[in-house]
Structures are given as C-alpha cells and as structure tokens.
Amino acid sequence: MDTQAPADGSTPRRKLFIRTWGCQMNVYDSGRMADVLAPLGYGPAETPEEADMVILNTCHIREKASEKVFSDLGRLRQMKEAKAEAGQKMVLAVAGCVAQAEGREITNRAPWVDIVLGPQTYHRLPEMVARAARAAGAQIDTDFPVEQKFDLLPQPRADQGPIAFLTIQEGCDKFCSFCVVPYTRGAEFSRPVAAIVAEAKRLVAGGAREIALLGQNVNAWHGEAPDGSTWSLSRLLYELAELEGLERLRYTTSHPRDMDAALIRAHGRIPQLMPFLHLPVQSGSDRVLAAMNRGHTADLFYRIADQLREARPDMALSSDFIVGHPGEKAEDHAATMALVEKVGFALAYSFKYSARPGTPAAGQPFQVSEAEKDARLQDLQTLLRQQQDEFNRACVGRECDILFTGPGRHPGQMAGRSPWLQPVHVTGPAELAGRSARVKIAAAFPNSLSATLLDMPPLLALKELTPA
C-alpha cells in the first residue's frame, strides 16, 4: 500500500512497505501507521525487498489466517538475512488482530520479528521502532491502553483520493460465538463528534468526494457532541451531509441489532447517503442465530430489509453468511437459503465456519463435517452469485451518477463506482478522475458494469469548448 512522505516535505530517508489483510478497518489502520512513521523519514516502498521496514497488518477472521502470516514471515526472513549480509537492516513488524491474539506465539515461532503490536497500540509504533533499534529481542505491545490512540495520532493524510475511509468506532461488545473481534479489538469505543467532523473536513479539503464511515459495529456508534449530549449515527450522518463538497456517504459494517428507526429513515432523507448497505445476517435459522449469540432473529432481518426499501426504493443490500456453524442441521441451511431467496442480495460474502481458538463455538459439540460444509457453501454461493448477476443485469439501461476514481484497465478508459458500489468503466478523458458524471449503464459483467457518458462535469465541458 502507499505510504506518506516525511511531514517536512524532504526526501524519505527510509522505505516502508505495509501488507494489509482483511477489512477496510485494517486498510485505514495501515494508512495511519504510515502517518505515524512519516516523521521518522519513512516513505513508500513498492516491494518488501527494497524496504527498510515491513509491516504485516493482519486479520484473524479468515480461515488459516495465522498460518498465512507465518508463511509470509518465512519469506521475509530470507530478505532480512540477505540485507544483513549486505550490511543493511530490515525492521520487521506484525500488527493487527493476529498480532493481538498470538503475540508471544509469533515471537516464539518467528524470533526474527522485531515488533508485535495490536490494533489499539499503533500510536506507539515510533517508540517501539526506537526500542527495537536500541535493544535485542522483540518489542511486543498488545495492551488495551487507557489513553485513546486517536488522541495521540498525527492528523491523517488528506490525499487519499476521491473515496476516503474514516474510522468512527472500534471494538465490539456483541461476543458472537464464532468471532475473535471482541478479544482482539476490545470493547466498543465511539469517537467524539468534533474529532470526526474535523477529520471529514480535512478529507474533503484534500479531494475526497465520498466518505465511508468505518467501525466493527459502526451503527452502534454513539459519540459525544460538543454540547455534551450523545449523538446517534443517524444524527452524525445528517451533520456530515452538510459538508460542502461531500457528495456521498456510506457506513460499514453494521449489526441488525443496531438498525434503529431513525437510521432507517435517514436513508430516505439524506441524498448523499448511498442506496447500498452491508448488513451481515450470518444465518437464516433462528436456532443457529441463537447459538451464534447474534441477538436477532430472521424475522427482524426481514423487517429491516423491508423498512429500508420502503425508505429508499432503490436500496440494495449485501451481507455475510457462515455455513456449518456447530450444530447446524440441514433444515437450518434450508432456512438460510430461504432467507436469501426472500430478501435478495446485490452482493454477499459467504464462508465455511472455522474454529477460532478462545471463542465459544470452538469448543461446542456437533461440529459439522468439512464435506457437509463444502456442499452447503457451494449451494449458497451458487444462489448468491445468481442474485448478484441478476442485480447487475437489472442495472442495464439505468441512468445514474458515477464517482470516477482513476484510469481503467484499457487506454482511454476511466473507472469509478456506482451508487451501489459496483465498479463501472466508461470511455472518457482522464480529467474525470475525482469527479462525478451522469452515465447510462450499457452492459453487465460478472464483477463490473460498462457505461456511456451522458454528460460531462461542468468544468470539463467548458474545457472542451475552450479553444486551445
């Protein structure tokens, strides 16, 4: 990923490479680690081979996450040893949720790692780099500090492009049976209104036209306002929609338990709030949802979906599903398939259940066989893929505004995002980057759409009419 040049504008003295796995929260965290290290002279490296420091920002959600990290660390060991033979040094750090969950195990299995830090401590990264340079042995910091890291971080970069991410909430108090997030990210914490609005203003001033608000349970956000009152997410969205130059708003990831009536109404009343919501349901079976400790029923999810579409008729939904949770039976899987059929999803992510050490489900009886999980996953993914294709095809002929992010894959092509988060490409000038333009969807492909421009942004149209 890209990192930032030193704050004083000088040429970077050192090279930094960050490899990021997982969610947009981790992408945001990687950017902030680059911000923290920029004053130390770290600038971007294109590859780990050329880097003076490599950070693996890890995710513990996916299957075999830890083994993938150790596999990468094995390759990095060879690079680090080659640099040492050449009289150079590579600082190697492991950050993120795998670091939080398995800090000491990492240094036991990979003693060539210099730094291990959890998601709540990356504001301490410069101090850990200094300690690693002075002392032998790995520096490990996986505490949940009393001080809030956001108060100790430098201002984030404002040059992220037309689409920017802004973390407003961290941690989780839900304790789903399959999930490690409460143990790796800690308790729910909501940033105050003033800090969020100030960061959003900086992002817009730096060229952002769309801001996605991030949180493990983003719709559980309840931040302190300047007058001492507590705002809900819906109130914050109304406030951010007033920012001049901000065209689009999104938020992810949400929990059905925290979708209140005011937030649902906001989708019909805030034009900047895009008609696309990621709302994980995990299962369509009430029995499995109870075993997962989700705290909601399938019927609640049905009602939320109906209310969202009533508030915003063009609303599209995406979701997460887990098949093969301990104790899941054939009839439970059938209930999940029925939910998918009834609700309909524009996009979805589905996974086989895999045990996470320390989580309640890992020790539960009646584990589902791998063969059965494979069959159920294939069954579910076939239906979800069909629905995604149908949604994309239904967009053909529709007119909508596209926010263009940059060049496409082919010469003369520009790419952007639809209101429903689909990648869209058109034939158009490079000056479209960072701007919105009206298009008509011409064709649907498995993972993208093509379109034709209906009009040009005013400044570009004027430029085309101005004689050279």
Question: Which two tokens mark 11?
Answer: 């040429």
pLDDT at 460: 56
Q: How far apart, in whole angstroms, are the C-alpha atoms of residue 331 and residue 414?
A: 47
Position 130 pLDDT exceeds 70: yes
What angle separates helix 233-240 from helix 261-269, to the nearest 10 degrees? Answer: 20
First to last CA, the chain: 38
Other beta carbons within 10 Å of 159: 12
Give all domains of the chain, ordered by start, each with its CATH number: 14-141 (3.40.50.12160), 149-394 (3.80.30.20), 399-465 (2.40.50.140)
What is the gyration radius of the CA atoms in the chain, in angstroms?
A: 23
Give CB contacts under 8 A, 24+ apart, made by 49-53. Answer: 49/79, 50/15, 50/17, 51/15, 51/16, 51/17, 51/90, 52/14, 52/15, 52/16, 52/88, 52/89, 52/90, 52/91, 53/14, 53/15, 53/16, 53/17, 53/90, 53/91, 53/92, 53/93, 53/129
Question: Which two tokens mark 246?
Answer: 């901000």
For 436, phi then psi, to 5°, come to -105, 145
- The reported pTM is 0.78
Q: Fill in the amino acid letter for 91.
A: V
Which residue has tokens 């524009």? 346
Least confident of 137-141, 159-163, 199-203, 304-308: 137-141
pLDDT at 5: 39
Alpha helix stretches (DSSP H) within 186-313? 193-205, 233-240, 261-269, 286-291, 298-311
Q: How far apart, in whole angstroms, are the C-alpha atoms of residue 90 and residue 86?
A: 11
Strand partners, 55: 18, 93
Q: Fill in the amino acid letter for 178.
A: F
Q: Is 59 annotated as a binding residue?
A: yes
329-341 per-residue burial string, b: 16 or more CB within 10 A, e: under 16: eeebbebbeebbe
More confident residue, 85 or 248: 248
CA atoms in the 13 A half-sphere facing the CB of 342: 15
Name the nearest CA neighbour of 58 among 132, 110, 15, 127. Answer: 110
| Mean pLDDT score, 171-190 | 88
- How would you classify the pairing of strands 189-190 and 210-214? unpaired
Could you report the per-residue pLDDT of 259-289, keeping only the tens digit for each? 999 999 999 999 999 999 999 999 999 999 9
Could you report the per-residue pLDDT of 325-357, keeping only the tens digit for each? 999 999 999 999 999 999 999 999 999 998 887
Question: Which two tokens mark 314?
Answer: 């063009």
Name the nearest CA neighbour of 352 among 98, 66, 62. Answer: 62
pLDDT at 101: 78
Mean pLDDT rounded to a whole number for the chain: 89
Q: Quick check: 338 and 284 in contact, CB under 8 A? A: yes
Give CB contacts under 8 A, 24+ apart, made by 84-91. Answer: 88/52, 89/52, 90/51, 90/52, 90/53, 90/54, 91/52, 91/53, 91/54, 91/115, 91/129, 91/132, 91/133
Q: Is 395 annotated as a binding residue?
A: no
pLDDT tier, 242 (very low <50, low <70, confident <90, very high otherwise):
very high
- DSSP secondary structure letter of residue 62: S
pLDDT at 299: 98
Q: Is 176 annotated as a binding residue?
A: yes
pLDDT at 458: 61
Q: Is 400 annotated as a binding residue?
A: no
